[in-house]
């Protein structure tokens, strides 16, 4: 991985300290021209009572990766980024291992952005599909 990607991932991971992302052990692991990937372990911390990954944890991963992607691909120094809508379709259950959320931008407007976030397991099986809309508000 080149130095530029490593620097971006370091900034993303450092921004997660003392946040829900740290609690859920979300780690940013890959970045490209129009995408960001985060991973989250699947264990009892994120299980439903019957031992499968909780849908809310998947949505938290999706919004974390999408919002962080908005911050790094937009002007995060001069704008606040906030999620304003998220929708998720869970298509498969997971009991253990890791899941990966890949946020890819679909629309990059000046004010609003639309992200496609696919959550997969380590074997690249589709677990959930999420759509996140973010808004950029100027810091004053």
What distance in Å separates the CA atoms of residue 60 and residue 68, rounded to the nearest whole number?
12
Residue 73: CA atoms inside 13 Å, Cβ hemisphere, count? 26
Q: 10 Å Cβ neighbour count for 39?
A: 19
99 and 39 Cβ atoms separated by less than 8 Å: yes
Instruction: Count helices and strands (H / E) in the chain.
Output: 3, 6
Catalytic residue (one of 14, 63, 77, 98): 63
Q: Is 14 a catalytic residue?
A: no
> Active-site positions?
63
């Amino acid at each position: 991985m080149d130095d530029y990607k490593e620097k971006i991932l370091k900034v993303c991971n450092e921004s997660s300290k003392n946040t829900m992302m740290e609690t859920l052990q979300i780690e940013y692991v890959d970045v490209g021209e129009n995408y960001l990937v985060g991973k989250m372990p699947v264990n009892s911390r994120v299980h439903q009572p019957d031992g499968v990954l909780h849908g809310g944890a998947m949505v938290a991963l999706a919004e974390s990766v999408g919002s962080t992607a908005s911050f790094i691909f937009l002007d995060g120094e001069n704008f606040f980024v906030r999620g304003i809508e998220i929708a998720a379709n869970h298509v498969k259950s997971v009991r253990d291992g890791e899941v990966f959320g890949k946020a890819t931008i679909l629309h990059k407007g000046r004010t609003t952005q639309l992200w496609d976030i696919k959550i997969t397991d380590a074997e690249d099986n589709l677990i959930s599909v999420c759509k996140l809309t973010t808004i950029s508000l100027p810091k004053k």
